[in-house]
């Protein structure tokens, strides 16, 4: 609660500075950070839409009480309110999408690492079982992981098992051949002069 209160106080201060003093950059930066936080926390963007809709409904009577006697001022006040909330939603929405895309990239990376584990069968021997679709990007990652594992474990033999891959196109097949060649090229290092990849 204390942290939430501090966050609200900060947000109100930046909001007031933007509306009253015309200094919008700090408030927009704050909104952007909030959008990223919402995405990382798994909060639905619709929740923010509901909050802003409620705020519009609550502010309407106050604006009417303050400016309702003059139609032009009432119209300007309403237009300003909607412009303010629309701008906030746009800023938060853009940051929210960026945050979600980042979360998805991290999850994809974690899944790829889990889906291509390099296992040590015994000292000096590794196996890399590959299961599922193997595209060029995953093939590159496979190469990096295998070479790193060969270097770290000083393996002399590496087995790449692709029996769990439903299909291999020419690009991926070429990449696998390059992987085998790269593993063999570690002959410049004494500890892997006999490295073989199958």
Q: Which one has a higher pLDDT value, 4 or 93?
A: 93
Question: For 39-91, what is each residue's pLDDT tens digit?
Answer: 888 888 888 889 889 999 999 999 999 998 899 999 999 999 999 999 999 99
In the chain, % of residues over pLDDT 70? 90
Cα separation, 153 vs 1, in Å, equals: 50
Per DSSP bridges, beta strands 119-122 and 196-197 are unpaired
Quote the pTM value: 0.55
Q: Which helix (H) or strand (E) holds 157?
A: strand 157-164
What would the two tokens of residue 24 be? 């919008």
The confidence band for 192, taking pLDDT boundaries of 50, 70 and 90, is: low
Cα three-residue angle 104-107-112, rounded to 5 degrees = 125
More reliable by pLDDT, 42 or 23: 23
Higher-scoring residue by pLDDT: 101, 196: 101
Query: CB 1: neighbour CB atoms within 10 A?
Result: 5
Q: Is residue 23 pLDDT above 70, yes or no?
A: yes
Mean pLDDT for the chain? 83
* 115 in Cβ contact with 131 (< 8 Å): yes
* Residue 174: pLDDT over 70: yes
């Amino acid at each position: 609660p204390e942290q939430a209160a501090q966050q609200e106080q900060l947000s109100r201060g930046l909001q007031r500075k933007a509306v009253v003093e015309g200094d919008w950059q700090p408030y927009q930066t704050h909104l952007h950070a909030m959008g990223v936080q919402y995405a990382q926390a798994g909060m639905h963007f619709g929740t923010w839409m509901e909050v802003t809709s409620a705020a519009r409904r609550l502010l309407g009577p106050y604006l009417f009480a303050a400016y309702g006697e003059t139609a032009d001022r009432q119209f300007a006040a309403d237009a300003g309110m909607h412009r303010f909330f629309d701008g906030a939603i746009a800023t938060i929405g853009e940051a929210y999408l960026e945050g979600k895309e980042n979360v998805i990239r991290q999850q994809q990376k974690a899944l790829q690492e889990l889906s291509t584990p390099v296992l040590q069968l015994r000292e000096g021997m590794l196996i890399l079982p590959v299961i599922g679709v193997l595209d060029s990007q995953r093939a590159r990652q496979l190469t990096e992981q295998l070479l790193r594992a060969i270097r770290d474990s000083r393996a002399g033999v590496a087995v790449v098992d692709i029996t769990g891959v439903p299909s291999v196109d020419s690009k991926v097949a070429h990449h696998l051949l390059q992987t085998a060649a790269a593993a063999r090229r570690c002959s410049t290092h004494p500890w892997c002069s006999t490295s073989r990849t199958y």
